[in-house]
Amino acid sequence: MVEPAPNMPSEAFVRALTESQAALRGYCQASLGHSEEAKEALQRTSIVLWKKCGNWNPETEFLRWAITVAKFEVLGVIRDRKRDQKRFVFNSDVVTLMVDEASEIADSVSDRAAALEECLELLTDRNRETLSAYYVHGRSIQEVAAAQGKAIGALKVMLLRLRRKLGECVEGRLARGGAV
Amino acid sequence: MSDLSFQRDRIEELLFASANESFSVEERDELNALLLGSSAARRFAVQFLSLDAVLTEGLIAGEAALHYAEKNEKRSTKVVRFPIRYKAWLAAAAAVVLICVWVQSRRMDPKDRAVVIEPVGFIQSAIRTSEFKRGDTFRPGDWVRFESGRVALKFESGAKLAVEGPADFQILSNNGARMTRGRATIRVPGKTKGFTIETPAEQIVDLGTSFGVQVEQDGSTSIAVFEGSVELSGRHHAPVPKQLSAGQAVWVEKHSNAPSEIPYEVRDFLPTWQTSFGVEAVEGSMRVAEPKERAMPGKVVDCHRLLIFPERESVQLPLGFVVSATEPGAYQNPKSLKQHVTLPEPVMVDSYLVQFNPGELLTSESPRRFSGILKFDRPVVGLLFRAKMLDESDTLLGLPSADFGGVYRRGINAGDEVSLEEDRRTLTVSFDVLNGVDQIRVLVKSNPSNPNSSSIPRIP
C-alpha cells in the first residue's frame, strides 16, 4: 500500500471528512443563521481540517475534533467582521450561545441526513424542483414564484409546509430507527 | 395556542425570512431577542437551521446522483440508479475532493461546489493578482473574490467579463454572473446574446453589446453602455424592461425604484475594457482605442500615441493564409518587412490593428519616433506589415463598420521596427513617422470557448 505523503490526508481522513460534511454544514448554519458568513465558516473549517489532517488521530472521533475547529472558525468569522455587524442574521451574543447549542445536536446530524434522503424520495418531482431552486440554486422566493406562476405568499406557505412535512418525516423515521 | 407554540411559529417564520433579502432590521432584532431570551427557542432554531443544512445537502446529493446517471447514460445508454445512502456519500465526497481544490485556489462555495458540474468558463487573464492564474476553470456557484489586480473570464457562451479588484462575483451559469462588488467590462462578441449580470440593485441583460458595470460596497450600481444596447430588467422595471443604448449611462441605488441617468463616462472602465480584449499590458507611447473609437480606426487622430484597435474575434483563417511574419524576432529592414509566410496550419485568431495617425496635428517640433510595448494574454501567430496585405484582409479581419477610406500609406516602411519577443506574447512597435498613417495588423490566437478544451493556454 502506498503511504500518503507528509501533510497529505490519509484515506481515513478523507472518508471521515466526507461523512461529516452535513454535520459541519449544519453546525455552521445553526450557529450563524442563513448567511454568507455560515458558508464562509464552513469553507474555513474545511480548509483548516484539510491543512491540519496530520493532527487527527484516527483512533479518536473525527466529528468532535471537527466541531471544535468549526466553533473556532465560526467565532473567527464574527471577530473578523465585527465592524460590519449589520450583515449578520444573529448578533454576536446570540452566536456565542448558538455555537454551544449547535454542538449538542451535531452527533445526530448524520442520522437525520440519511432519514431525510429517504423522505426526499417521497416528494413529487415538482416539489423537489421547487426545493432545489430555493435551497440549492439560491433562487429568491420572488424568482421561484415568478418561474412557477405562483403568488409570493403562496410559495412561502408551500415551502414552509414542505419543510414541516420533511421534518415530521425525518423525526418519524428516526423514531422507528428506519434510516440508520 | 400556547406561548411556546406561538413563539415557535414566529421563530420559524423569522428564520425562514432570514434567508431572504427582504429580511428587515426589525425582524432581525426580534429574532435575536427571542433567541437570547429562551434556551428552548435556541434549541428549536438550531434544529430548524440544521434541518435546512441537511435538506440542502440531501437535495445536492440528489442532483449529483442525477448528474452522474445522466453522464453515464450518455456514455453507455445504461441508466445508473444509486442506492440512497450512496447519493449522499457521492455528493459529500465530491465536496471533499473539491476542498483540496479550495485549499489551492482559495475561491470556493461548498454549497454550490458540492454538486459536480462541468466548468462553464475559464480565466483568460490574471493580472497583478495572486489568487488566480490563467486557465483556471470555474463552475456555476463559484465565487470569484480578489482584492486587487484584474481578471478576465471567458464564458462557454463566448461572453467575456473583465473585472478589476476589489471584486466579489459569483458565476451563475455559462452565460451569467452575480456581482456584489467591483468594476467590470462585459463584452459579448458575435451572435451571442442574453448574457445576464445581476447586482444587488439591478439585472442587466445583454442584447449584443459591450458595457461597463460598477457595483459599490452598498450595492448601488452604475452601468455605461459602450456598444449596442442592454436591457435593465430588475424588479423595479417590471413588467416592461428599460433599454439602454451605446453612449448612455445610469445609476441605480439598491432600494430605488428607478435608475437615474448620469453622464456617460468610460475613463474608469478603460483598464477592464483593455483586459477584456486580452491586452495584458501597454507601455510607452501606446494605448487601446476607446469604445467610441474602436469602429473607425482611419478617422481617429492621435499625434501622441500609437493606438491599438481590437478588431474581429474568433476568425477562422482560411488554409494558406499569408502573413508577413510568424516567428519571434526583430523586423525592420525593407526585405524583412516585405517577406511572405504562409501559416502552417488553420488557426482561429483575434485581430488587432496597431496604428499611428497624427492627422494634421504633427508639427515640425513633434517627436518623430513613437514606441510602445504591447503584451497579449495569448500568443501572436501572425503579423501583417504590408499595405496590400492589410487591404486584402480588411473584409475578413476588420470590424464590419470600420472605414479605411482616406487612409493612405498603410503598412510600415524602412525605419519602422516591430519585434516579437520569444514569449510570442510581447510585441515592441516603433514607428518612425514621416507622413500618412502607419498601420500593422497583429493576429493573436483565439481562446476556445469550451472550458474543457485542451488548447486553453495554461501558462503560469
Asked if the model's pLDDT at residue B215 lies above 90, the reply is yes
The reply to whether A21 and A103 lie within a common domain is yes
Percent of residues, chain B, with pLDDT higher than 90: 27
Number of domains in chain B: 3
The reply to whether B328 and B365 lie within a common domain is yes
DSSP state of A54: G
pLDDT in tens, B17-40: 888 777 888 888 899 888 888 888
The CA distance from B79 to B72, in Å, is 7
pLDDT in tens, A7-33: 566 777 877 887 788 888 889 989 988
Range of the domain at A139: 122-176
The reply to whether A130 and A167 lie within a common domain is yes
Neighbours of B435 (CB within 10 A): 9
The reply to whether A35 and A100 lie within a common domain is yes
Number of domains in chain A: 2
The CA distance from B167 to B146, in Å, is 6
The CA distance from A129 to A123, in Å, is 10
The reply to whether A30 and A98 lie within a common domain is yes
What is the rounded average pLDDT of the residues B388-416?
80
Strands B196-198 and B176-187, bridge-based pairing: parallel
What is the rounded average pLDDT of the residues A165-174?
88
The reply to whether A135 and A104 lie within a common domain is no
Domain assignment present for residue B341? The answer is yes
- Flag whether residue A5 sits within 8 Å of chain B, measured between CB atoms: no
The reply to whether B347 and B432 lie within a common domain is yes
Closest residue of B to A168, CA-based? Answer: B51
A11-19 vs B84-105: helix crossing angle, rounded to 10: 110
The reply to whether B307 and B206 lie within a common domain is no
Predicted TM-score (pTM) of this structure: 0.56
CB spacing of A18 vs B32 below 8 angstroms: no
The reply to whether B331 and B415 lie within a common domain is yes
Count CB pairs under 8 A between chains A and B.
170
Question: Of B214, B236, B268, which residue sits at a domain end?
Answer: B268
B4 φ, ψ to 5°?
A: -65, -40
What is the rounded average pLDDT of the residues A30-47?
83
CB spacing of A21 vs B46 below 8 angstroms: no
The reply to whether B300 and B433 lie within a common domain is yes
Residue B460: what pLDDT? 40
Of A111-115, B178-182, B214-218, where does mean pLDDT reach its minimum?
A111-115
Q: Which of B 227-256 lie inside 8 A of A, CB atoms? A: 235
Asked if the model's pLDDT at residue B288 lies above 80, the reply is yes
> B128 to chain A nearest CA, in Å?
25
- Flag whether residue B88 sits within 8 Å of chain A, measured between CB atoms: yes
The reply to whether A101 and A154 lie within a common domain is no
Domain assignment present for residue B297? The answer is yes
The reply to whether B209 and B78 lie within a common domain is no
Grid cell at residue A79: 471577530
- Flag whether residue B85 sits within 8 Å of chain A, measured between CB atoms: yes
> B67 to chain A nearest CA, in Å?
14
Residue B298: what pLDDT? 80
Question: Of B268, B296, B329, which residue sits at a domain end?
Answer: B268
Asked if the model's pLDDT at residue B238 lies above 80, the reply is no
Residue A118 with chain B: CB contacts under 8 Å: 84
What is the rounded average pLDDT of the residues B439-450?
87
The CA distance from B127 to B161, in Å, is 14
CB spacing of A132 vs B99 below 8 angstroms: no
Domain assignment present for residue B189? The answer is yes
The reply to whether A101 and A137 lie within a common domain is no
Neighbours of B11 (CB within 10 A): 21
The CA distance from B266 to B293, in Å, is 12
Three-class secondary structure of residue B430 per DSSP: strand
| Side-chain-facing half-sphere of B147: CA atoms under 13 Å | 2
The CA distance from A135 to A128, in Å, is 10
Q: In the structure, what pLDDT confidence band is assigned to residue B323 with cuts at 50, 70 and 90?
A: very high
The per-residue pLDDT of chain B, averaged, comes to 80
Omega prior to B367 cis, within 30 of 0: no
Asked if the model's pLDDT at residue B81 lies above 70, the reply is no
Contacts of B19 (CB under 8 A, 6+ apart): A34, B52
Domain assignment present for residue B49? The answer is yes
What is the rounded average pLDDT of the residues A150-156?
88
Range of the domain at B320: 277-445
The reply to whether A102 and A31 lie within a common domain is yes
Q: Is B260 exposed, middle or buried (0-12, 13-18, 19+ CB in 10 A)?
A: exposed
pLDDT in tens, B92-120: 555 554 544 444 433 334 443 333 456 88
Domain assignment present for residue A167? The answer is yes
Q: In the structure, what pLDDT confidence band is assigned to residue B270 with cuts at 50, 70 and 90?
A: very high
Question: Of A77, A108, A139, which residue sits at a domain end?
Answer: A108
Asked if the model's pLDDT at residue A134 lies above 90, the reply is no
Of B84-93, B229-238, B286-295, where does mean pLDDT reach its minimum?
B84-93
Asked if the model's pLDDT at residue B318 lies above 90, the reply is no
The CA distance from B264 to B242, in Å, is 17
Of B146 and B452, the one with more pLDDT: B146
Three-class secondary structure of residue B132 per DSSP: coil
Considering only the beta carbons, identify the residue of A22, A29, A91 that sits closest to B32: A91
- Flag whether residue A47 sits within 8 Å of chain B, measured between CB atoms: yes
Domain assignment present for residue A49? The answer is yes
| Side-chain-facing half-sphere of A129: CA atoms under 13 Å | 7
Residue B106: what pLDDT? 37
Strands B286-288 and B306-310, bridge-based pairing: parallel
User: CATH code at A155?
Assistant: 1.10.10.10
The reply to whether B292 and B400 lie within a common domain is yes
- Flag whether residue A93 sits within 8 Å of chain B, measured between CB atoms: yes
Residue A109 with chain B: CB contacts under 8 Å: 50, 53-54
- Flag whether residue A123 sits within 8 Å of chain B, measured between CB atoms: no
Grid cell at residue B184: 467590470
Residue B326: what pLDDT? 92
Residue B103: what pLDDT? 42
Contacts of B155 (CB under 8 A, 6+ apart): B120, B121, B161, B174, B175, B195, B449
DSSP state of B191: T
Contacts of A154 (CB under 8 A, 6+ apart): A145
Residue A171: what pLDDT? 86
Of B29-38, B59-68, B354-363, where does mean pLDDT reach its minimum?
B59-68
- Flag whether residue A33 sits within 8 Å of chain B, measured between CB atoms: yes
The CA distance from A8 to B66, in Å, is 31
Q: Where are the alpha helices (DSSP H) in chain A?
A: 11-19, 21-32, 36-51, 62-80, 92-105, 109-121, 125-135, 141-148, 152-176
Question: Of A108, A132, A161, which residue sits at a domain end?
Answer: A108
B341 φ, ψ to 5°?
A: -130, 130
* Mutation choice for B interface testing from A20, A125, A137 by most B CBs within 10 A: A137
CB B234 within 8 A of CB B202: yes
Q: Is B442 exposed, middle or buried (0-12, 13-18, 19+ CB in 10 A)?
A: buried
The reply to whether A141 and A83 lie within a common domain is no
Domain assignment present for residue A26? The answer is yes
pLDDT in tens, A81-113: 655 555 678 888 888 889 888 888 888 887 888
Domain assignment present for residue A168? The answer is yes
CB spacing of A120 vs B54 below 8 angstroms: no
The reply to whether B83 and B141 lie within a common domain is no
The reply to whether B92 and B137 lie within a common domain is no
Q: In the structure, what pLDDT confidence band is assigned to residue B130 with cuts at 50, 70 and 90?
A: confident
Domain assignment present for residue A20? The answer is yes
Domain assignment present for residue B385? The answer is yes
Q: In the structure, what pLDDT confidence band is assigned to residue B289 with cuts at 50, 70 and 90?
A: very high
User: CATH code at B215?
Assistant: 2.60.120.1440
Domain assignment present for residue B131? The answer is yes
Percent of residues, chain B, with pLDDT higher than 70: 77
The reply to whether B316 and B435 lie within a common domain is yes
The CA distance from A92 to A98, in Å, is 10
First to last CA, chain A: 32
Residue B364: what pLDDT? 61
> A51 to chain B nearest CA, in Å?
8
Domain assignment present for residue B457? The answer is no
The reply to whether B253 and B307 lie within a common domain is no
Residue A166 with chain B: CB contacts under 8 Å: 51, 55
Domain assignment present for residue B114? The answer is no
The reply to whether A24 and A55 lie within a common domain is yes
The reply to whether A102 and A143 lie within a common domain is no
Q: Where are the alpha helices (DSSP H) in B168-316?
A: 270-276, 291-294
Question: Of A56, A75, A108, which residue sits at a domain end?
Answer: A108
Contacts of A172 (CB under 8 A, 6+ apart): none
The reply to whether A96 and A43 lie within a common domain is yes
